């Protein structure tokens, strides 16, 4: 009976020793694999969206001509009216992983058939990560010019985050808190106020605090 107990204990000891030897032999390899997988995941290697082509699709009646998403969260789309009649855009909503945002600012009106128009929206309250690929949807509410019947056109965008616009890039664009009314000036941005004969939407866009017929006037 004692011999059987000793044999049983010896068998358990052998199994325990084998388990320890296995962990010592292969434990570091397993740990190395786990660390490698973690690093690859951190740098987005397993993010399949990185390997998908950029997309901007709103259907055939409102085609996407150009699109860009900046690091400060500003999305800018250039769309074409293919409905065959003039339209007025009344509202724009953006849906993404950052939430649902109702875009503010003036909407394009009386867009002739075949003409393009811009849709600009600040879709994120915090800075986006450069070179990340972001997917979002935009719901554009519009009506035929002169009509009161509202319609929605939904589109999807998948694109890489680009460097943000600035007040000194020589281009009229949108950034930080709004859109410029002329090149590098005006609007609800942090840019300087526009000088005489530059475009404006309201008095505060102009250094003279006087906007008339969408042009900054003299003091």
- The pLDDT of residue 142: 95
Is residue 42 domain-shared with residue 55, that is, in the same domain? Answer: no
Contacts of residue 182, defined as CB under 8 A and 6 or more positions apart, other chains included, come to 172, 194, 198, 199, 200
Is residue 36 domain-shared with residue 56, that is, in the same domain? Answer: no
Tell me the pLDDT tens digit for each residue of 151-201: 999 999 999 999 888 899 999 988 877 889 999 999 988 899 999 999 999
Question: pLDDT higher for 191 or 105?
Answer: 191
User: Which residue in 58, 96, 91, 90 sits closest to 77, CA to CA?
Assistant: 58
- The pLDDT of residue 2: 46
Q: At residue 122, does pLDDT exceed 90?
A: no
- Buried b vs exposed e over 103-117: b needs ≥16 C-beta within 10 Å? beeebbeebeeeeeb
Domain count for the chain: 3
Is residue 65 domain-shared with residue 114, that is, in the same domain? Answer: yes
Contacts of residue 31, defined as CB under 8 A and 6 or more positions apart, other chains included, come to none
* Cα gap 191→174, rounded to integer Å: 11
Is residue 121 domain-shared with residue 66, that is, in the same domain? Answer: yes
Is residue 42 domain-shared with residue 77, that is, in the same domain? Answer: no
Cα 115 to chain centroid distance, Å, stands at: 25
* Cα gap 115→195, rounded to integer Å: 30
Range of the domain at 96: 51-162
Q: What is the pTM of this model?
A: 0.67
Tell me the pLDDT tens digit for each residue of 56-102: 999 999 999 999 999 988 899 999 999 999 999 999 999 998 889 88
Residue 72 located in a structural domain: yes
* Cα gap 87→119, rounded to integer Å: 14
Is residue 56 domain-shared with residue 142, that is, in the same domain? Answer: yes
Residue that is last in its domain, among 46, 66, 82:
46
Residue 26 located in a structural domain: yes
Residue 168 located in a structural domain: no
Residue 147 located in a structural domain: yes
CB neighbour class for 58 (10 Å; exposed up to 12, middle 13-18, buried from 19):
buried
């Amino acid at each position: 009976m004692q011999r059987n107990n000793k044999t049983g204990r010896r068998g358990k000891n052998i199994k325990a020793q084998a388990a320890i030897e296995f962990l010592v032999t292969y434990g570091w390899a397993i740990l190395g694999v786990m660390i490698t997988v973690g690093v690859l995941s951190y740098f987005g290697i397993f993010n399949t969206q990185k390997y998908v082509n950029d997309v901007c699709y709103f259907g055939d009646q409102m085609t996407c001509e150009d699109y860009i998403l900046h690091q400060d969260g500003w999305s800018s789309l250039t769309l074409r009216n293919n409905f065959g009649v003039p339209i007025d855009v009344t509202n724009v909503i953006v849906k993404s992983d950052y939430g649902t945002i109702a875009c503010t600012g003036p909407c394009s009106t009386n867009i002739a058939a075949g003409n393009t128009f811009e849709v600009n929206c600040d879709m994120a309250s915090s800075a986006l990560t450069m070179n990340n690929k972001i997917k979002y949807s935009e719901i554009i509410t519009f009506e035929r010019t002169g009509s009161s019947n509202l319609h929605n056109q939904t589109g999807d965008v998948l694109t890489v985050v680009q460097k943000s616009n600035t007040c000194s890039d020589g281009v009229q664009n949108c950034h930080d808190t709004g859109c410029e009314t002329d090149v590098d000036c005006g609007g609800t941005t942090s840019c300087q106020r526009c000088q005489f004969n530059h475009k404006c939407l309201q008095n505060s866009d102009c250094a003279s605090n006087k906007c008339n017929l969408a042009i900054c006037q003299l003091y």
